[in-house]
Amino acid sequence: MIAANPFEGLDGFRVKRKDKIEILTPAEVERFLIALDPDWLPFFAVCTFSGLRRQEVARLDWTEVKLDRALIDLPPAKAKNNRRKLEEIPANLAAILAPYARPAGRVMPRNKIQRAMENAARKAGITWKQNVLRHSFCSYGVALRGLEWTADQADHDIRILRRNYREVVSRQEAEAYFRIGSIPIPGNFFLSRTIPPKPLPKESPSLGT
């Protein structure tokens, strides 16, 4: 018989509750982007499909968006960790940005980010969660391009990505996410916004009249 409790005086396990990563589905992302004021589309598209943090995109200038090389070149002074960041621009993001690109000037049109985000989320019927665009990018990026690519793009610790973002979504869902805005099909909202409709051909006069 044990006279004393051998565990007396020892600290118990301290379990910190970690909420599940909350993301948007591809359909929700598309509804959100559709609902945005067009002036805000480039800003939130970069937040959605690149690894840049929102505060970094807020400092981004069009001179740093290199569509011809499919790169965003963010200087150290604008990056969170004071390091130059070279971000790959996925094909769908390039398709979204191309009609809006300018030689220079801020990508963010004005300072009321929160209002623009909340209005679009409300119109899209989405309950907005903190950092949901970054969580979405990391989850879909890991599923489609892997841990190393996503860690490089998001400037994120690969161990955190492995722990929190693996198997959050399927590869099929990730493919759908990175197709948003890139496929010119009837009804695609980016196509209708960025490519003016062709005029209807004039009717030829009847030969018998």
- Domain CATH code at residue 63: 1.10.443.10
pLDDT higher than threshold 90 for residue 139: yes
Give the global pTM.
0.79
Compute, in degrees rounded to 10, the torsion defined by CA atoms 168, 150, 120, 80: 130
- 134 domain residue, yes or no: yes
Lowest-confidence segment of 39-48, 64-73, 107-116 by average pLDDT: 107-116
What average pLDDT does the segment 105-116 reach?
A: 91
Give the amino acid at 48: T
- 7 domain residue, yes or no: no
- 124 domain residue, yes or no: yes
Q: Which residue has the higher pLDDT, 35 or 207?
A: 35
- 20 domain residue, yes or no: no
- 67 domain residue, yes or no: yes
- 80 domain residue, yes or no: yes
- What span, in angstroms and rounded, lies between the C-alpha atoms of 140 and 99? 25
Interval 166-206: pLDDT, tens: 999 999 999 999 999 975 533 444 444 443 333 444 443 33
Interval 3-59: pLDDT, tens: 555 445 444 444 454 567 899 999 999 999 999 999 999 999 999 999 999 999 999
- 5 domain residue, yes or no: no
Task: Give the domain range for residue 37.
Answer: 26-191
| Average pLDDT value over all residues in the chain | 83
Domain count, the chain: 1
- 3 domain residue, yes or no: no
